[in-house]
A = this chain, B = another copy of it.
Amino acid sequence: MEFTLESPLDMHVHVREGAMLERVTPLTADHFAGAIIMPNLVPPVDNLERLLWYRDQINAAKGDATFDPLMMLFFRNYSREELEAAREHIFGIKLYPAGATTNSEAGVKELSAAEDTFALMEEMGIPLMVHGETHGFVMDREKEFLTSYAYLAEKFPKLRITMEHITTKDAVDLLDQFENLHATVTLHHLIITLNDVAGGLLNPHLFCKPIAKRPEDQEALLATALKAHPKLMFGSDSAPHPVSKKECCGCAAGLFTAPVCLPTLVELFEKHDALDNLQNFVSGNAQRIHGYTPPKTTVTLEKTGMEVPARYGDVVPYRAGETIPWAVTNVQN
């Protein structure tokens, strides 16, 4: 049995820097025709020079793969001149509330102080991607941020906004209320709940931000993905950390899912008899929403089984040690 995907896209990935970048970039580039590269380095990718340097690192690391790194600026208040210079090199700008996740200390403290830049982005057609969490109680942070999404979507009706890595039924429900509001969802939030993180023994490898929520949230996200809701895009939020930062006293947030995304998605959509919708979920929706034409690739998966390694270097992947029925067996450019 065989299943093919045309130009799959990962609309949210972290490839880090240095040796980690060299290790993980090929694992995304081998499967995906393009991916949005998140800019939360230290210091952040918040100027064109650093962005072009970062893109060069990724292009050097991707090897022979046909892969389009979709570069993002880290949100700060930018001048018109800065945005005009950057425009042709960037896919969008990523906004982090200060302190909300890994390396976000340089993020935004008050949305109201950022409105000039939002207005410029709206005028220039630059998309805004948002890590939407407040600093409240961990299970409520996304829900509490939804009013900010609604405010932004209403105040800047031509600004194309993506709610990144949504984790709640409430966010799903908001999707249809504003034409300019879209969302990405990860692989793991389609599958896990807080029970998988902390219901038995505590599993640091499933700890991420936003944290996995309640069963009714996971069910709503999965149902929305399975029908390839036209405003929902796949974005893995694959986020590698060395094992020393996961199995320790203060474990960092993030799952490394890059190598298992496509096999797991095919397994999941097959199980729910929704394989016909997977192409739109992992590529078609993003192309249409962003008016983006990715490099043409054809990825073939077969039921030969993928044995997920215990580690990639010092990174423990999602589903480490498991055998996934589907494996990527061929990629054609």
Query: Could you tell me which residues of chain A, from 109 to 128, have a CB within 8 Å of some CB in chain B?
Result: none
> In the complex, what residues of B have CB within 8 A of residue A138's CB?
194-195, 198-199
A303 to chain B, nearest CB (A): 29
Asked if A291 lies at the interface with its beta carbon under 8 angstroms from chain B, I say no
Asked if A193 lies at the interface with its beta carbon under 8 angstroms from chain B, I say yes
A194-229, CB under 8 A of B: which get 1 and which 0? 110111111111010001001100000000000000
Tell me whether A197 and B198 are in contact in the complex, defined as CB-CB below 8 angstroms, given that A139-B139, A247-B248 are known contacts: yes
> In the complex, what residues of B have CB within 8 A of residue A137's CB?
193-195, 199, 214-215
Selected contact of A204 from candidates B193, B195, B251, CB within 8 Å: B251
> In the complex, what residues of B have CB within 8 A of residue A205's CB?
249
CA distance in complex: A305, B178 (Å): 56
23 contacting pairs across A/B (C-beta < 8 A): A137-B193, A137-B194, A137-B199, A137-B214, A138-B199, A139-B139, A198-B198, A198-B207, A198-B211, A201-B250, A201-B252, A201-B253, A202-B202, A202-B252, A203-B249, A203-B250, A203-B251, A204-B204, A204-B249, A204-B251, A205-B249, A247-B247, A249-B316
How many of these chains are in the complex? 2
A156 to chain B, nearest CB (A): 30
> In the complex, what residues of B have CB within 8 A of residue A203's CB?
249-251
Q: In the bound complex, do residue B215 and residue A207 qualify as a contact, i.e. CB atoms below 8 Å apart?
A: no
- Residue in A197, A199, A203 whose Cβ sees the most chain B Cβ within 10 Å: A199
CA distance in complex: A193, B251 (Å): 17
CA distance in complex: A207, B194 (Å): 13
Query: Could you tell me which residues of chain A, from 152 to 209, have a CB within 8 Å of some CB in chain B?
Result: 193-195, 197-205, 207
A188 to chain B, nearest CB (A): 15
Q: Which chain B residue lies CB-closest to A248?
A: B247
> In the complex, what residues of B have CB within 8 A of residue A199's CB?
137-138
Q: In the bound complex, do residue A253 and residue B194 qualify as a contact, i.e. CB atoms below 8 Å apart?
A: no
CA distance in complex: A194, B136 (Å): 11
A201-B250, A202-B250 are known contacts; what are 19 more A-B pairs with Cβ within 8 Å? A137-B193, A137-B199, A137-B214, A138-B195, A138-B198, A139-B139, A139-B214, A201-B251, A202-B204, A202-B207, A202-B252, A202-B253, A203-B250, A204-B204, A205-B249, A247-B247, A247-B248, A247-B249, A249-B316
Q: Which chain B residue lies CB-closest to A215?
A: B137
A151 to chain B, nearest CB (A): 24
A258-293, CB under 8 A of B: which get 1 and which 0? 000000000000000000000000000000000000
